[in-house]
Amino acid sequence: MNRFYKKKEMQKLAAEHGLDARLFHQAFISFRKYVLEVTSLPADVHIIFSDISFGAGHVDDIYPYFMRHARQIFPMLDCMDDLRKISDLRVPANWYPEARAIQRKVVFHAGPTNSGKTYHAIQRYLAAKSGVYCGPLKLLAHEIFEKSNKAGVPCDLVTGEERTFMDEEGRPAGHVACTIEMCSVTTPYEVAVIDEIQMIRDLSRGWAWTRALLGLCAEEIHVCGEPAAIDFIRELMYTTGEEVEVHTYKRLTPFSILDRAVESLDNLSQGDCIVCFSKNDIYSISRQIEARGLECAVIYGSLPPGTKLSQAKKFNDPDDPCKILVATDAIGMGLNLSIKRIIFNSLIKPNINEKGEKQMETISTSQALQISGRAGRFSSKFSEGQVTTMHRDDLPVLKDILSHSVEPIETAGLHPTAEQIEMFAYHLPDATLSNLVDIFVSLSQVEGMYFVCNIDDFKFLADMIQHIPLNLRSRYVFCTAPINKKQPFVCTSFLKFARQFSRDEPLTFDWVCRHVSWPLAAPKNIKDLVHLEAVHDVLDLYLWLSYRFMDMFPDTAYVREIQRDLDDIIQQGVRNITRLIKATDPAITDPLQTQSARRGKTAANSGAAGSNYVTGGKSQMDISLASRLVRDGLLTPDLLRQLQREWSKDQKQDFTNQSALDTDHQNNNKGKRKKKKK
């Protein structure tokens, strides 16, 4: 058996019949276990092994029996040719016959942030008889929706969770602003605008840009984005026989990298925006700023759109005392902000790699430019932008990042469609949805300029509701819902929605109110605020599902109404965020308050006595950990004070023990030296 497994010829032959190296190994392990443990082997298998044992046969003779077993554990091997045809993703342009039937004009508006590239595309969009705007964010779609209607061009809004028609009878307008996943590839338009085209390489959402670019039925396609995408878009359009006309733009207002880091929050000034890559840092820094008697606005990704807009309005208002903004990279798109100076609190950001694993890495040149470009916006009161870092050590790193050119885009994302998965299920009726997607990706064939997007979130949801009886199409739709899987309340709500749906019981307004415990009170601490954000996400999920299963999620208007009320409650909480942090963490100084000092003292501490350095390091580390635990609601202030008392006792005991150990160590060394002399 082992000789058979090691033969390259057998592995190659198995690969030709659909068993790649991974499947070959799994099939062999199963086959060997079966042969060794079964009480009575089938006669033909018994004879072949007997012949090989007595030299009358060859190990290659095992192959047909091995393949017979492999087909039993991997049923797709019997229909491999059909499955390979279904999962052939090599010519995605052919998926859109309506778009291929017309000769489209493709115009690329290329330029950095704040160069007017999207403005020029939108002017053509507004002048057209019909048009579609496709953006990466709800906020951007809302902005174009409002801008279009103010300009006297009737425009509808379509996002995953919202449909707004300007016609009272619900007839579609000639223009529509939508999030890119929601664009129609069958409706004819005169002009289509695809914003932020560089996101075509995004590991999770890139497929939506590929679909829009290849599939939109528009006489003119205007794409906006980084110059790094020009060559790739030209190459992609070559496969459809369409030429690309390129318009390049320069930044309308300059921005410069300062030669000094800020180093202290005492050095903040009007129009500053501190960029963090975690909510904990935002909580800490906003508290420190307000402790200095300054007001600040706060924006991060999980806030509802209404709250983000209200915080942006507060920061931009020249009559409002709030002159400082603390934000994540959520400000990189979708918000018009009057920022004079961008200050990077850190250059390390959590990212999801190609395998779907979370990892911490330095921000890319593209990300740094996107964020830095928010300083000194055209038409704002700051005619020139400035960029720097909070910490001195980070400034040369930022300068190095911004000195490089953006890496050219080389691939575009693809994603299996519901139809493709349904065809797979026809051939593999007993496979779970998660397994179907896995098999699809493993068999899929893509050309060099494409890749299959990360499907881990899809599989996570598929596994979560696998035990719930749903038909395949409904199951697929549920698993494409855009939910934050880090939020336990959102995940349990998703599960309850699916279970109620499977019983064919409509999810009414009353049912939703009971589930989320509506009405909800204003947040008293950060934990309450985080929960309210999760409830807002759950209501978003309801609205998203209501447009796919209208009869089962019937109370859209009522849910949207309480979502607006919830947005107001969250806005109230964010306006009082410093008070919430204090309520959560009354006894502890924020860890970032001493961060700059800590960095500056590192070198001095390293030259100090060993025991003093260790003690100093431990106490700082404990303060940071304690602050996070209390803020997250995992530790109460009373327990914390008790731990601090115990820690003080332990420190004294550790110091005593260390002194005794040092004495013993010195005595042992003296004894050894005496022995050597003898």
Per-residue three-class SS string for 185-248: CCCEEEEEEECCHHHHHCCCCHHHHHHHHHHCEEEEEEEEECHHHHHHHHHHHHCCCCCEEEEE
Name beta bridge partners: 220.
Answer: 105, 191
Nearest by Cα to 27 from 43, 44, 14, 37: 14
Residue 529 to residue 523: CA distance in whole angstroms:
5
Q: What is the pLDDT of residues 368-386, one digit of tens each?
A: 999 998 898 766 778 788 9
Residue 362 to residue 358: CA distance in whole angstroms:
13
- CB under 8 Å to 430, separation ≥6 — which residues? 75
Q: Quick one: pLDDT at residue 587?
A: 46
Nearest by Cα to 435 from 464, 451, 459: 459
Q: Quick one: pLDDT at residue 41?
A: 87
Residue 250 to residue 239: CA distance in whole angstroms:
29
Residue 519 to residue 512: CA distance in whole angstroms:
11
Q: What is the pLDDT of residues 132-174, one digit of tens each?
A: 999 999 999 999 999 999 999 999 999 999 999 998 888 899 9
Q: What is the DSSP letter of 332?
A: G
- CB under 8 Å to 16, separation ≥6 — which residues? none
**79-84 mean pLDDT:** 84
Instruction: Indicate if the alpha-carbon torsion angle 25, 29, 32, 35 is positive or negative.
Output: negative
Question: Confidence band (pLDDT; 50, 70, 90) for 576?
Answer: confident
Does the pLDDT of residue 21 top 90, yes or no? no
**Poorest-pLDDT segment among 127-131, 311-315, 458-462, 632-636:** 632-636
**3-26 mean pLDDT:** 86
Residue 182 contacts residue 211 (beta carbons within 8 Å): no
Q: Quick one: pLDDT at residue 598?
A: 42
Q: What is the pLDDT of residues 649-674, one digit of tens each?
A: 555 555 555 555 455 545 554 454 44
Residue 509 to residue 512: CA distance in whole angstroms:
5
Q: Quick one: pLDDT at residue 603?
A: 40
When the pLDDT of each residue in the chain is averaged and rounded to a whole number, the result is: 85
**Poorest-pLDDT segment among 70-79, 312-321, 529-538:** 70-79
Which two structure tokens, joined as six digits, stand for 95? 């998926």
**100-113 mean pLDDT:** 94
List the Cα angle 77/81/86 in 5-degree steps: 110
Strand boundaries in 23-119, DSSP class E:
105-110
Highest mean pLDDT pick, 66-80, 288-302, 487-501, 627-641: 487-501
Dihedral of CA atoms 193, 408, 377, 150 in degrees, nearest 10, equals: 0
Residue, of 616 and 525, whose pLDDT is higher: 525
Residue 283 to residue 276: CA distance in whole angstroms:
10
Does the pLDDT of residue 420 top 70, yes or no? yes
Does the pLDDT of residue 640 top 80, yes or no? no
Which two structure tokens, joined as six digits, stand for 526? 């950060």
Q: What is the pLDDT of residues 385-413, one digit of tens each?
A: 899 999 999 999 999 999 999 999 999 99
Does the pLDDT of residue 632 top 60, yes or no? no
Residue 18 to residue 187: CA distance in whole angstroms:
40
Reported as half-sphere exposure (CB side, CA atoms, 13 A), residue 369 has a value of: 22
